[in-house]
Every structure is written in structure tokens, then in C-alpha cells.
Amino acid sequence: MARLIALVVLVAAGAATFLGLRPPDPVPADTPASEFSAERAFPVVADIAREPRPLGSAANARVRDDLTDRLTGLGLTPRVESPLGNVVATLPGTAPTGQVVLAAHLDSVPQGPGAADDAAGVAAVLETVRALRAGPPLRNDLTVLLTDGEEAGLRGARQWVRDGLDRTTPTVVLNHEARGVSGQSLLFRTSPGNAGLVHAMRAVPHPAGNSSLVAIFRLLPNDTDLSVVIGAGRPGIDSAFVEEPEKYHTAADSPANLDPASVQSQGSTMLALARELGATDLAPLDPTASGLPPQPDAVYFPLGDVLVTYPVAWEWPLAGLAVVGLVVVAALARRRELLTTRDALLPGATSPLPLVGAAALAIGLWQLLLVLRPEYADRPFLDRPVPYEVATVALAVLAVSVWHVRVRRRVGPCAAALGAAAPLAVLGLLAAAFVPGAAFLTTWPALGLVIGQALSVATRNSTAATVLAAVPSVVFLAPFAVAAFGIGGVATPIPAVAFALLGLPVVAVLDPVGRRAAALPALALVVAVGATAVGLA
Ligand SMILES: [Zn+2]
């Protein structure tokens, strides 16, 4: 019964988390004029993304002319900045402390029409300006920056930062991108010293993205226009939607494949940030321009529609608390004779094994696929990745369940559960040291498990406490594990390790024993083999 309750609670937590990750429904065109409507923006996307428009092409020139006309129609006075063809326009504020820049790139790669990358961003900028014009004027200046030659080496952005960006005007650049054709628009990168920017993010109605993505972005072979801005020591926020990455930079990045909900997510986020920053004193946010002292960094992540933020300086004490708490609970459990010192050491010392095992199995699967399907080597994102993703998850479950069953048989459920929390707590410490902003991903799951085990030891009743204990693991690690497929597809072992991290606490809570314990690894193996076969077929 207890296990059934555990399963129901965790599935419900997972379902609620995933529902929260879906982009909002597109807002229809008859909504009030001061709101962002994807239905109003979409015809502009379709018009821009009729054909590829790389730097210097005739289509590129057509789109530039079209965009200057549209900006003029919105009451702005656009100018085309040579030698490249950036389109720039400014809407003066009532009492400006600086300027908020809405940026997107008007060019595309030659291989495809770039509906998501970045016609969607350009159309969202226009629709946001239209919505802003329908409301009361902003205090700060608003600058529209549609760069050219982004796909040819961020050339438009380099020109604008060199020639167009005033050194003494406090400026915040909001840049808009895509690395897929669907999903929520993620606030995935900020300039360093982001406390003020993160404060402004709290105005976003359905905030998405978190401070761990900043570190992950550095692992990717991608760059955006914001890199040039940050390189010049100026502040900004990058946002992008990233799902279905196999369509990115291909002919499939078309208006037909673009999810209007992603345009809504991008636009709602942009409009909220523009209004918030448009009313904010920008001087403290841009120390390079204002000469004010730099701001600290902040951790940020959404829980439902609330953006949780706290100083990065808190990551160390929180991660330390998880490690100390783990040791204290183990000592308490020992005093209550739920485990011996040796019992506690075995799962603690061997808990990295399921992570290493999951990585090894995932690498093995990919090598096998390369032998059977050599053409996969050219592209990390397969056209139909789902069967292989299922196989990857099953391999992670296999690694975790084999470890859990063996360890639990030797040392019992309490020590096994504490062992499952150990890698999460240690990774929190490592992240606090080496990946600032990312420690929350494993620290809160570890703290949840520690508190759950403490309650379970204190009351000698494990049901309610251990179930609640694993909810933070699901809330934080399930979206991370799924998103890990977007980093390098199934070609990297990162998703397998992420699912093993999620699987450790979940399997510990469900705590299969007896026949069920033997069945779980077998079931995982069957699913892995079956899903791989389906993928190959
Ligand atoms: Zn782009």
C-alpha cells in the first residue's frame, strides 16, 4: 500500500511538473491591443520565412525592406545600418535612464527558411512593440535591433556593438533565439552580475528556464548575438525555445512546423520584461556604462508560475547543509540501530557506480548504433529519436535498480536510501564550486531526501516521509533529465546520467523487494532491447 501511494504521489508530481513545462496556448488576434498575441504575430513569421535569407541574398534584402515598412507602420523611424543591413529603430521614453533593446536576427542559414530561427523572434519583437504602443509610454527608451549576418558569425551584432552601442548609456539587451521549433521560450543565459536582471524576470507571467542552463549553454557549440554584447561587458538576457532540435538549421525549420505556442511564450516573456525593464532605473544594471559597482549573481528557477531566486552565495551553505544533514541522519539511524557504520559506508561508497554504469551503457548503445547505422555519425539529433530515448531511460533504470537491489539486500532500506542521496548531495557541493547557479538542481533533491529520512528515522514510520522526500527529486531532476536529450541527443551519456540521478531517489522510495526487486532490472533490460529494435526498424 505504501509503495502504491509513493508511486501515485511521484507520478502526480511528475505530471504536474511536465504540464507546467508546456508553453501557453496562443492568444487569439481579438485579444486587447496591449497584450501579445501569437495569432497576430504568426502571419509575419510566415511572410519572413517564405525562403532562406542568408546574408547578402535577394531574399535577405526583401525581408529587410519589409521590416523597415512594418516598423514605419508602427510609428517608428527605422534606419538600415551599413555596411551590413541591421535594422534599428528607437521609441523614445518619457524620462529615460537608458535603453531596453529588443533584439533578434533577420537572416537565416542557407539550408532552410528559419521560421523559428529567427523569423519568430523578429515577428515577436514587432508584435511586442505594437502591444507597447497600445499601452502607456515607457519611462526608458526602447530600441529595436534586427541584426543581419548572425548565422555568418554574429557579424551584425559585432557591427552594432562597435558602432551603435553608446558607451555611457545604460543598456539592457533582450535577445531572442531558437534551437528547435517548439517548447517554452527559456530564459537560458544572462550576463554576469545578473541580480537586477533576475529581479526583472519575476515579472514574467510563466517564467521558464533556470540558472543551470547558463553553464550548460557553454557546453554547446552554439553562440548568439548576446555573446558579443556580454563580451563588451554589457548586460542582457538570452531566451530561446529548443525542442525538436533535429529541425534546427534545416529545411524543416518552416512555418508549418513552428509551434505557435512557442511564439506566444517568447512574446509574453519579451513583453513582460520590456515593460518591467522599461520602468526600471537601468544604471545599476549596466555598471560598465554607469560606473556603479557590479551586482552579484543570482540563482533562479521556476516553481509553477513563481520564479524562485536567491543569491549564488547561498549555494555553498545549502549544499553543505545537505551533506552535513546526510551524516547526521546516518548517525541518528545508527543510534536507533537501523544501520551500522559499515552499512552506511557501503551504499555511500558505491553510489557513483549506477551513474558510471548508466553512462557506460549509454555509450555502449551509441557505439552499437554507429556500427549498425553509420549514417547516425553525421548528426547528433536523429529524426526519430524517441525509441532510442526510451532505451536510454531503460538503461539508466537498469543500472540504478541493479545497484539498489544488491545494496538493499546487504544493508536494508534506510542505508540504501541514504546512499541514494549521497551523489546528489556531493554533486551539489561540486556544482557550488565549479558550476555556480546549477547547484540547486541536486541540492534541493538531496535536502528533500535527508529531511524525509530524518522524519522516517524519528517516527520509525517510513511511508509518508520518504514519499514526500522524493518529490523535490522529481520536480527538479525529471525536467533536467528530459532536457538533457536536447543537449546532444542520445549521442552523449549526459541524459543517461541525469536519468540515473533521478532514478536513485525514486527507486529508493519505491523500494522494490522480493520478486519485484528481481523483476525491475529484467524489465528495464527488455524495454531497452525492445526500444532499440523498434528504433532500428
Ligand atoms: Zn539564430
When pLDDT is cut at 50, 70 and 90, the band that residue 465 belongs to is confident
Give the distance (Å) from ligand 1 centre to CA of residue 224: 7
Cell of 522: 529484467
Q: What is the pLDDT of residue 380?
A: 65
Query: Does residue 462 have a pLDDT over 70?
Result: no
Q: What is the pLDDT of residues 287-337, one digit of tens each?
A: 999 999 999 999 999 998 999 999 999 999 999 999 999 999 999 999 988
Q: What is the pLDDT of residue 153?
A: 93
Give the distance (Å) from ligand 1 centre to CA of residue 250: 12
Give the distance (Å) from ligand 1 centre to CA of residue 48: 14
Q: What is the pLDDT of residues 152-173, one digit of tens each?
A: 999 999 999 999 999 999 999 9
Mean pLDDT of 260-286: 98
Cell of 525: 533490460
Q: What is the pLDDT of residue 29?
A: 95
Give the distance (Å) from ligand 1 centre to CA of residue 150: 7
Give the distance (Å) from ligand 1 centre to CA of residue 179: 7
Give the distance (Å) from ligand 1 centre to CA of residue 237: 15
Q: Is residue 222 within 8 Å of 216, Cβ to Cβ?
A: no
Residue 280 and residue 140: Cα distance in Å, rounded? Answer: 8
Give the distance (Å) from ligand 1 centre to CA of residue 114: 8
Q: Name the one residue in this structure whose C-alpha cell is 557513483.
A: 352
Q: What is the pLDDT of residue 2?
A: 72
Give the distance (Å) from ligand 1 centre to CA of residue 208: 19
Q: What is the pLDDT of residue 483?
A: 81
Mean pLDDT of 433-450: 93
> What 3-state DSSP class applies to 174?
strand
Q: What is the dihedral of CA 38, 242, 435, 389, to 10 degrees?
A: 140
Mean pLDDT of 349-363: 92
When pLDDT is cut at 50, 70 and 90, the band that residue 232 belongs to is very high
Give the distance (Å) from ligand 1 centre to CA of residue 128: 19
| pTM for the whole structure | 0.91
Give the distance (Å) from ligand 1 centre to CA of residue 492: 23
Give the distance (Å) from ligand 1 centre to CA of residue 105: 7
Residue 323 and residue 330: Cα distance in Å, rounded? Answer: 11
Q: Name the one residue in this structure whose C-alpha cell is 525536467.
A: 479
* Domain extents in the chain: 2-17+313-536, 36-286
List strands edge to edge, sheet with 99-105: 79-81, 86-91, 141-147, 99-105, 171-178, 236-241, 186-190
Report for 210-214, 345-349, 438-442, 525-529: range of highest mean pLDDT: 438-442
Query: Does residue 65 have a pLDDT over 70?
Result: yes
Give the distance (Å) from ligand 1 centre to CA of residue 514: 53
Give the distance (Å) from ligand 1 centre to CA of residue 243: 14
More confident residue, 367 or 120: 120
Give the distance (Å) from ligand 1 centre to CA of residue 88: 18
* 166 exposure class (CB count in 10 Å sphere: 0-12, 13-18, 19+): exposed
Give the distance (Å) from ligand 1 centre to CA of residue 149: 10
Query: Does residue 411 have a pLDDT over 70?
Result: yes
Choose the weakest-confidence range: 80-89, 250-259, 349-358, 506-515. Answer: 506-515
Give the distance (Å) from ligand 1 centre to CA of residue 151: 7
Give the distance (Å) from ligand 1 centre to CA of residue 427: 33
Q: Is residue 351 within 8 Å of 425, Cβ to Cβ?
A: no
Give the distance (Å) from ligand 1 centre to CA of residue 471: 36
Query: Does residue 437 have a pLDDT over 80?
Result: yes
457: left (phi over 0), alpha (psi -120 to 50) or beta: alpha
DSSP percent split of the chain into helix, strand, coil, nearest 5: 60, 10, 30
Q: What is the pLDDT of residues 361-403, one digit of tens each?
A: 999 988 888 888 887 877 766 667 788 899 999 999 999 999 9
Contacts of 380 (CB under 8 A, 6+ apart): 488, 489, 491, 492
Give the distance (Å) from ligand 1 centre to CA of residue 39: 22
Residue % of the chain over a pLDDT of 70: 98
Give the distance (Å) from ligand 1 centre to CA of residue 98: 26
Give the distance (Å) from ligand 1 centre to CA of residue 119: 9
Mean pLDDT of the chain: 91
Give the distance (Å) from ligand 1 centre to CA of residue 185: 13
Cell of 198: 533576475
Residue 216 and residue 184: Cα distance in Å, rounded? Answer: 17
Query: Does residue 217 have a pLDDT over 90?
Result: no
Q: Name the one residue in this structure whose C-alpha cell is 548575438.
A: 225
> What 3-state DSSP class applies to 253?
coil
Query: Does residue 7 have a pLDDT over 90?
Result: no
Q: Is residue 241 within 8 Å of 251, Cβ to Cβ?
A: no
Pairing of strands 99-105, 141-147: parallel
Give the distance (Å) from ligand 1 centre to CA of residue 156: 12
Q: What is the pLDDT of residue 219?
A: 67
Give the distance (Å) from ligand 1 centre to CA of residue 432: 31
More confident residue, 335 or 516: 335
Q: What is the pLDDT of residue 459?
A: 82
Give the distance (Å) from ligand 1 centre to CA of residue 417: 44
Report for 262-276, 397-411, 500-514: range of highest mean pLDDT: 262-276
Give the distance (Å) from ligand 1 centre to CA of residue 145: 14
Closest by CA to 62, choosing from 40, 87, 42, is 87
Give the distance (Å) from ligand 1 centre to CA of residue 409: 52
User: For 26, which DSSP code?
Assistant: P
CB atoms within 10 A of CB 310: 14
CATH class of 36-286: alpha beta
Give the distance (Å) from ligand 1 centre to CA of residue 178: 6
Mean pLDDT of 521-532: 88
Would you say the C-alpha torsion 374, 375, 380, 383 has a positive or negative sign? negative
- How many residues comprise the chain? 537
Alpha carbon 312 to its chain centroid, in Å, reads 18
Q: What is the DSSP string of 40-74?
A: HHHHHHHHHTTS---TT-HHHHHHHHHHHHHHHHT
Residue % of the chain over a pLDDT of 90: 66
The amino acid sitting at 330 is: A
| Cα within 13 Å of Cα(192), Cβ side | 9
Give the distance (Å) from ligand 1 centre to CA of residue 118: 5
Give the distance (Å) from ligand 1 centre to CA of residue 300: 24
Query: Does residue 124 have a pLDDT over 90?
Result: yes
